[in-house]
Amino acid sequence: MNFAFSDDQNMLRDQAAKFLAARCPTSAVRKILEGEATWDKALWDGIVELGWTGVAIPEAYGGLGLGHLELCVLAEELGRVLAPVPFSSSVYLATEALLLAGSEAQKQAWLPKLAAGEVIGTLAVAEGAHQPTARSLSAKVENGRLDGVKLPVPDGLIADFAVVVARTSADGGARSASLFIVDLNGPGVTREAVKTIDPTRNHATITFKGAPAEALGATGEGWALSEAILDRAAVLLSFEQVGGAQTALNMARDYAMGRYAFGRPIASFQAIKHKLADMFVALELGRSNAYYGAWALASGSSELPVAAAGARIAATEAFYLAAKENIQTHGGNGYTWAYDCHLFYRRAKLLALTIGSAPHWKELLISRLEARNAA
């Protein structure tokens, strides 16, 4: 039984933690929250310089050729500090999309640039305040031109290209959509900032009017491919969520130890202790499910769809619980702008939605278990 990260992977974790402690304290995240910039360019440049953007990209395409376990380690550390960078969009979504569905030419064209941080990519699926489905999808591609509106697109203002899910047939069935690569700096694209609950991450509304679109993967495979991409992203994001939950729990613990009421630290009250114990339990269940997802992702197991859904659900619950109860533990201070609790609360709910809500993933999980049982 070897259900843990290796010494080398833990060494990478230590290096990442050191780098992020120096370069991404909460004051840096707060700067994005309160300032004009919508992302931390200097931090991103440092991350690129360390090669993190190419960790899971094979050496043949200019990456480090390590693997997804290493990427999970980095994701956890980035999640711990709420790094305001387009790492998830460019690495978990766009890079994974190309690795999964790209032709040899597309891989050669994009992966070395993604690895080197010369371009930033993203995935554009959502079209407003509802679940994107085969029936509701309105973005469409005809004769290689994309029309439609995508929002919110994560890192939509800063990405150089997007992988877009768009309708390619009118029937609204499972095979009615396809994936396309669209140059966001090219013609027919306008982007506008969209306000979300978490201003420390960049989001945009992108309007496409006859934008040139290059097919990624086979026609009609749009939903199947985006589901496979989102499974991989779910595992990676679950590590960000676990990292964020751990920090929120640590904050709650430290505050409860130092805050005195009724002549004693509030950490000595069972109402607080039991709350923190529940946060810890949720975190451990989240972490263990995330580990299983990591194993399934890294080993290319057919378990991935079920494992990814499990990781997604458990980590989402862990981070949201930790973030909201961290505010509660801080009392009135937790509700102020000045304390950092809300940064975690915002990010927890953002991550809970960004690749689909928990109810959506629970439905997916049960469908997948039914399918596995039927097989």
Binding site for another protein (CB under 8 A): 1-5, 69, 249, 253, 256-257, 264-265, 267-268, 270, 272-274, 276-278, 280-281, 284-286, 288-289, 291-292, 294-295, 298-299, 309-310, 313-314, 359, 361-363, 365-366, 369-370
Least Å from the CB of residue 301 to another protein: 11
Least Å from the CB of residue 4 to another protein: 5
Q: Buried (b) or exposed (e) across 92-113, using 16+ Cβ within 10 A?
A: bbbbbbbbbbbeeebbebbbbb
Please say which residue, 291 or 319, places its beta carbon nearer to another protein: 291
124, 98 contact by CB (below 8 A): no
Please say which residue, 221 or 317, places its beta carbon nearer to another protein: 317
Least Å from the CB of residue 313 to another protein: 5
Please say which residue, 236 or 272, places its beta carbon nearer to another protein: 272
Phi-psi region of 324 (alpha: psi -120 to 50; beta: other; left: phi over 0): alpha
Please say which residue, 115 or 267, places its beta carbon nearer to another protein: 267
Burial of 65 (0-12, 13-18, 19+ CB in 10 A): middle
Least Å from the CB of residue 14 to another protein: 18
Compute the half-sphere exposure of residue 189: CA atoms within 13 Å on the CB side of its CA.
24
Cα diameter, the chain = 73
- Cα–chain-centroid distance for residue 147? 26
Please say which residue, 11 or 369, places its beta carbon nearer to another protein: 369
Please say which residue, 31 or 259, places its beta carbon nearer to another protein: 259
Least Å from the CB of residue 314 to another protein: 5
Least Å from the CB of residue 272 to another protein: 8
53, 105 contact by CB (below 8 A): no
